[in-house]
Amino acid sequence: MVSFVDPQNQTVYAWHGYGYAVLLVIVTFLQSVFLQQYFQRCFVLGMKVRTAIMAVVYKKALVVSNDARKESTVGETVNLMSADAQRFNDVTNFIHLLWSCPLQIVLALVFLWIELGPSVLAGLLVMVLMVPINGLLATKSKTFQMKNMKLKDKRMKIMNEILNGIKILKLYAWEPSFEAQVQDIREDELKVMRKFAYLSSVSTFVFSCAPALWSGPPQDPHRTPTEQVSLATFAVFVSVSPDNVLDAQKAFTSISLFNILRFPLGMLPMLISSMVQTAVSKKRLEKFLGGEDLDVMAVQHDSSFSNLNIPLFQQGLGMQGMIQTAISVTSGTFSWGKDAEPTLKKKRQMEIPLLMDVMPSCCRVPPVPLHSRA
């Protein structure tokens, strides 16, 4: 396009320029259609992943053992179904950038090599120098995220206790005390979030600080180190040889290729940060879902016990009817924990019958349980 509008170039036919313009419009249209289809499918997939995680956590909460239930409170379970599940939804929307961003960077560098030759290695060196900085920021971000999730679980736990015991709390006028506790936890949480915001600002500054060569608006949220890359590349290109002339055609083509680098270089830090948060949520989900379940074989449902009808006559009340065995325990041992000392031992068989079809002298009474029989 640049060579076509050059007045000194008389060897290009006019229909070439119109063809380039039409192709540019078609390519832009197809890019928009494919990109919208990609995001729509990724968003649907993210919602399915989030829904599946919420269903698995809810199903696990119904069968988790008492020992495992002590390690995770109700607030932690709620956070797993809301915050942690949302992390997977967010990362699923941009998961394909893991391979598309490096592919875009490699293709842009290949075309830049064709245009500028080995001078593009200077820009590549600038991008390589950003990798350790990005790794350090990602490590710090993971630490702050783990602290934030722990404080959030603690806050959700105490809020759940407050709501469950609101009557007693109101009766004894303990509102100021519990309010102070929640405020202290919230202050600690805000401190961690403030540090995380400072770290994000540093990350944005590192990837946004640009020299004088800047072609975008000052408040562009997608500012990336492409200007540093382009400045280093152009400086090396014009300085290595006097034969290298930076004309308009070469400059605008190179700048367009550098603009292609802007999106992957801008999305990679966000993707890395989102993956770090998802990794923290993944460990929390693995810890909860890997907990011990209730032993389903400890209780057996036998329909033959319901057929044991025993005649009943209770003197003094004028009631008579039939009883059925509701619960039968054989050699049962009861304790508050798996490794705790048994609180109640029952070596012989214990049956808890259920009173059925009892008819008093005046009217029928509802079924009532009888005393245990050892």
- 42-81: per-residue pLDDT in tens? 899 999 999 999 999 999 888 888 777 777 777 778 888 8
Q: How far is CA 302 from CA 75, 307, 323, in A?
A: 37, 10, 17
User: Cα-atom radius of gyration of the chain, to the nearest Å?
Assistant: 35
Q: Give me the mean pLDDT over the 2-17 stretch.
A: 65
Q: How far is CA 247 from CA 191, 229, 234, 250, 349, in A?
A: 52, 18, 11, 6, 97
20 or 312, higher pLDDT: 20
User: pTM value?
Assistant: 0.58
Distance CA 266, CA 261 (A): 8
Residue 173, pLDDT > 80, answer yes
Residue-wise pLDDT tens digits, 78-124 = 888 888 888 898 888 888 888 888 898 888 888 888 888 888 888 77
Angle at 218 between CA 216 and CA 220, to 5 degrees: 65
Residue type, 151: L
Rounded mean pLDDT of the chain? Answer: 75
Report the range of poorest mean pLDDT among 62-66, 221-225, 251-255, 348-352: 221-225
Residue type, 103: L
Q: Give me the mean pLDDT over the 244-273 stretch.
A: 78
Most confident region among 32-46, 71-85, 288-302 by mean pLDDT: 32-46
Distance CA 367, CA 186 (A): 51
